[in-house]
Structure 1
Amino acid sequence: MPTLRTTLDPTTPEHRTASTAMRSKLADLEAEHAKALAGGGEKYTARHRRRGKLLPRERIELLLDPDTPFLELSPLAAWGSDYPVGASMVTGIGTVEGVECLVTANDPTVRGGASNPWTLKKALRANEIAYTNRLPCISLVESGGADLPSQKEIFIPGGAIFRDITRLSAAGIPTIAVVFGNSTAGGAYVPGMSDHTVMIKERSKVFLGGPPLVKMATGEESDDESLGGAEMHARTSGLADHFAVDEQDAIRQARRIVARLNHRKAHPDPVRPVEPPKYDEEELLGIVPEDLKTPFDPREVIARVVDGSEFDEFKPLYGTSLVTGWAELHGYPVGILANAQGVLFSAESQKAAQFIQLANQRDIPLLFLHNTTGYMVGKEYEQGGIIKHGAMMINAVSNSRVPHLSVLLGASYGAGHYGMCGRAYDPRFLFAWPSAKSAVMGPQQLAGVLSIVARASAQAKGQPYDDEADAGLRAMVEQQIEAESLPMFLSGRLYDDGVIDPRDTRTVLGLCLSAIHTAPVEGARGGFGIFRM
């Protein structure tokens, strides 16, 4: 493959300014991640430790193979809401006994591990990832069930958690529950519906109704152990498949379960040596300008992410504001679509549709690198068919069957976000850089449109227009849209799977590609619907 040549000079003022801005955003991001790591805070963490218990990430670390990575997902869930950052749950992908698994762990230091609405969304996203990529699912359970004050937002949609567990099992995807403490009420169905369940002596408590509820419902007097203790479930009810003496023993038994699953990837891992990129990953920090209106060349990003910085560009002279081409990433073949100048025209849309069809014929996953303000508007472009050509690209993305990965580098506005496989188009994984922004359009454009509409309405009614109030309205709208388009806001609502350090992009994508190849990678051989020509 031809090697990409760089024209980037990290000593220029532009690169230094962009790099400084990115480092500042990364510092803000680290501070928010620290909130998730802190769980329920020092008081509740200390109380948890006094009980001789491990924290959720410590449990995960013991579960995973030594010195293997853990790709944490949705760490900023619930950011900007009334609930703690992280949503009282840790989810991610890691390797257990050589098998890539989807791991979830309740954080009992946050309201006893109770599930709030964002916990539910995070858990459902984790189940979706396990199902689509055929990853065995390990649940490290310690939860008091639903956070009762918010039950109205949890109870009805929350049933999907149990539906998902049974569907995973029916699809031949193993499910394992390790119960470290309470797993009560609806939460009792997690170990109840899992293929394998491990419980811990004098620690695990699994029952549909605890002693107080049983007393109220039936008048029966009972205690935790006889009602739902690990020994009872191991000896009497049969709910516990494995009886552990402590947390470490439970994790050891979970690892042995995975070792005996006989679970195989659909595609073997690449075997030949992988050549790293020829350019320094540190330089990724200064590629995206602080002002997203300033264009940048996405080839500079590609050159610092793909193997050997090698890239076979497709249609390089046609539709030049969209870069398309073939590469390998950690030994896995990928087709890449990357926005160059932000705007998508008719040529770019047609080029993308053809490229997506080619990737489907070759069973090659697609990587979308976003920096788009959307499809071009204006009389010339409307007359030239921008709607039907944009629809062609969106059609191709919608009906493509190869796995999609998306990374938001800069802007991702309007229907361009859809055409580049935004969240609604089911990419297997979607991550954002701290520089990214996503909304229906840019803040200034949106505020300007509202102003024009309001002014036209006043004129049609013969009313005077208040320019001072208009300026205030525009400023307020710009501020609101700016805040709502930032990556931490979007990540808090699980519109991505995490905001990542640009320098980690290659590693994150490599982990995702490896997980993706646990399931068959097969493209569509037709079935794209009608392309309007």
Structure 2
Amino acid sequence: MTALRSTLDVTGADYAANREAMLEKLAALETEHAGAVAGGGEKYVARHRERGKLLARERIELLLDPDTPFLELSPLAGWGSDYTVGASLVTGVGVVAGVECVISANDPTVRGGASNPWTLRKALRAHEIARANRLPVISLVESGGADLPSQKEIFIPGGALFRDLTRLSEAGIPTVAVVFGNSTAGGAYVPGMSDHVIMVKERAKVFLGGPPLVKMATGEESGDEELGGADMHARVSGLADHFAVDEPDALRQARRVVARLHHRKAQPDPPPDAVRPPRYDADELLGVVPGDLKVPFDPREVIARLVDDSDFDAFKPLYGTSLTTGWARLHGYPVGILANARGVLFSEESQKATQFIQLANQRDVPLVFLHNTTGYMVGREYEQGGIIKHGAMMINAVSNSKVPHLSVLMGASYGAGHYGMCGRAYEPRFLFAWPSAKSAVMGPQQLAGVLSLVMRESAAAKGKPYDEENDAALRAMVEEQIESESLPMFLSGRLYDDGVIDPRDTRTVLGLCLSAVHNAPVAGARGGFGVFRM
């Protein structure tokens, strides 16, 4: 057996301090998630219910198979902006009639479900996940279209939303639209470009121009129903494929549509008896990451609480030891794992990672990246030793690897180390962060120190005295700014990850992601890595 043996002292003072710090971050995260769930607030939720309508998450719950999980994506979209947290849209992956689907639901309690710039980015990310993993898309539609005051940021890039629907269809990935209320202007093209359309009686309103716009443009007077009601579209225009008497009926019909898709996963799920839980309690993950990210931690303690039976075959364990690599199974799926140990990536770690990624591609094995890196090592010795070309080899391998990548930011994820460990720009199929994570071009103190040195040298070159008091104030300001901009809620608000998760949920989240990625073929690159500088 190659089961990992934990040395984590769960009775020690360090563990207790780490756990307390993590629980504080989780409490703050829970507050922000509650804000997203609240949507437009009590007033608008009550108004929505008075109209006899279900909330966005209630619609999703009725759509999903009973007692199956829903992996919500980007719940903090728009955090820190002028828009409501959640961006008036709920997206995620769930099981409908036995089929894993990407689900997108407008939240009409937030400005009538109107789309702002973060809504658009969130919707496009959901489509990206659907396309990469060949997951059917179900759109639960009730939106007044673009949030007009922000149209300048929506109109031009917003066309990609409709382009995506047509490209998904062309690729044989089914799209279903269920219309519960308004779907106006550009929003009318969501049902217009979906493969299957269901509309709710006396509720759905789908038109390019509503009655006021039609009267202004043509002088014609028309009512909602004759212009774009469900009955008209079912009987006259033919836009509606299915006519529902109410919301539960619409969701029932959507389930029947998905059941008739005959959608099959490219690779079957592992048999349940092949899945064995880790030997260590996931609750212990709360005390693994120190509150101070300068303090290293052993990623094997995390791996031991994620993988099946805590069984892990290390690859090159004595070489490049600040990067742990090896093979395991997670919920029965084979995975290769790359996890930062002491933060810094040296030439040895870079070469080790490159070979490991190539092996995973030869074996068609998905890769899991567990981040805690301050970046690639700098200094005369390391530059002369080839750190640039060795780091470039690792980034080349990550860039051109074809197997699915899943990334989890546990601690630091700074500089080019973020790239080499498959950060957002390197298109992992899914990327999540722990509340302890931080990501930026470099640490706050280092960045402020670099700026200080540059300004000090500039003053010296000009023969001017250097203002030490001003320097201290500037450094403090820069450190505070970079610290706030590197925190997970800030980054998640900008959709640089797919969500901030409780460390205890990591195994479940990765298992759901692995199940999703196996809807598409899992095949590695065969020699197509470009030129490695040796």
Separation in 1 of the partners of 2:304 and 2:375? 25
Question: Which residue does 1:15 correspond to in 2?
Answer: 15
SS of the aligned residue for 1:513 comes to helix
Aligned-pair RMSD on alpha carbons? 0.4
Separation in 2 of the partners of 1:234 and 1:473? 64
- Is residue 531 from structure 1 mapped to residue 525 from structure 2 by the alignment? no
Separation in 1 of the partners of 2:97 and 2:24? 39
Please tell me the residue identity of whatever aligns with 1:352: A
Question: Which residue does 1:329 correspond to in 2?
Answer: 330
Separation in 1 of the partners of 2:390 and 2:441? 19
Separation in 2 of the partners of 1:103 and 1:30? 22
- Is residue 199 from structure 1 mapped to residue 195 from structure 2 by the alignment? no
Question: Which residue does 1:480 correspond to in 2?
Answer: 481
Please tell me the residue identity of whatever aligns with 1:368: F
Please tell me the residue identity of whatever aligns with 1:425: Y
Question: Which residue does 1:170 correspond to in 2?
Answer: 170
Question: Which residue does 2:243 correspond to in 1?
Answer: 243
Deviations 1:242-282 (A, max 9, x none): 00000000000000000000000000000143110000111
Separation in 2 of the partners of 1:87 and 1:237? 32
Q: For 1:276-291, what aligned pairs fall within 5 Å after superposition?
A: 276-291=277-292
Please tell me the residue identity of whatever aligns with 2:127: N
Q: For 1:43-54, what aligned pairs fall within 5 Å after superposition?
A: 43-54=43-54
Separation in 1 of the partners of 2:321 and 2:12? 25
Shift of 1:191: 0.3
Separation in 2 of the partners of 1:205 and 1:281? 48
Q: For 1:183-194, what aligned pairs fall within 5 Å after superposition?
A: 183-194=183-194
SS of the aligned residue for 2:508 comes to helix
Q: Where do 4+ consecutive residues of structure 1 move more than 4 Å?
A: none
Equivalenced residues, count:
533
Deviations 1:308-354 (A, max 9, x none): 00000000000000000000000000000000000000000000000
Shift of 1:439: 0.2
Separation in 1 of the partners of 2:104 and 2:11? 43
Deviations 1:424-450 (A, max 9, x none): 000000000000000000000000000
| Structure 2: segments with no counterpart, 5+ residues | none
Please tell me the residue identity of whatever aligns with 1:353: T
Shift of 1:502: 0.1
- Is residue 458 from structure 1 mapped to residue 459 from structure 2 by the alignment? yes
SS of the aligned residue for 2:274 comes to coil
Question: Which residue does 1:362 correspond to in 2?
Answer: 363
Separation in 2 of the partners of 1:481 and 1:172? 44
Separation in 1 of the partners of 2:70 and 2:189? 27
Separation in 2 of the partners of 1:92 and 1:108? 17
Q: For 1:383-462, what aligned pairs fall within 5 Å after superposition?
A: 383-462=384-463
SS of the aligned residue for 2:406 comes to strand
Separation in 2 of the partners of 1:459 and 1:311? 55
Please tell me the residue identity of whatever aligns with 2:454: V
Deviations 1:156-204 (A, max 9, x none): 0000000000000000000000000000000000000000000011000
Deviations 1:77-115 (A, max 9, x none): 000000000000000000001000000000000000000
Deviations 1:445-464 (A, max 9, x none): 00000000000000000000
Question: Which residue does 2:115 correspond to in 1?
Answer: 115
Separation in 1 of the partners of 2:294 and 2:522? 37
Please tell me the residue identity of whatever aligns with 1:404: H
Please tell me the residue identity of whatever aligns with 1:335: G
SS of the aligned residue for 2:338 comes to strand
Please tell me the residue identity of whatever aligns with 1:481: I
Deviations 1:342-372 (A, max 9, x none): 0000000000000000000000000000000
Shift of 1:527: 1.1
Separation in 1 of the partners of 2:190 and 2:231? 18
Question: Which residue does 2:214 correspond to in 1?
Answer: 214
Q: For 1:38-187, what aligned pairs fall within 5 Å after superposition?
A: 38-187=38-187
Question: Which residue does 1:25 correspond to in 2?
Answer: 25
Query: Identity over the aligned pairs, expressed in percent?
Result: 83
TM-score between the two structures when normalised by the length of structure 1: 1.00
Separation in 1 of the partners of 2:530 and 2:40? 50
TM-score between the two structures when normalised by the length of structure 2: 1.00
Separation in 1 of the partners of 2:283 and 2:237? 57
SS of the aligned residue for 1:154 comes to helix
| Structure 1: segments with no counterpart, 5+ residues | none
Separation in 2 of the partners of 1:20 and 1:234? 57
Separation in 2 of the partners of 1:94 and 1:440? 35
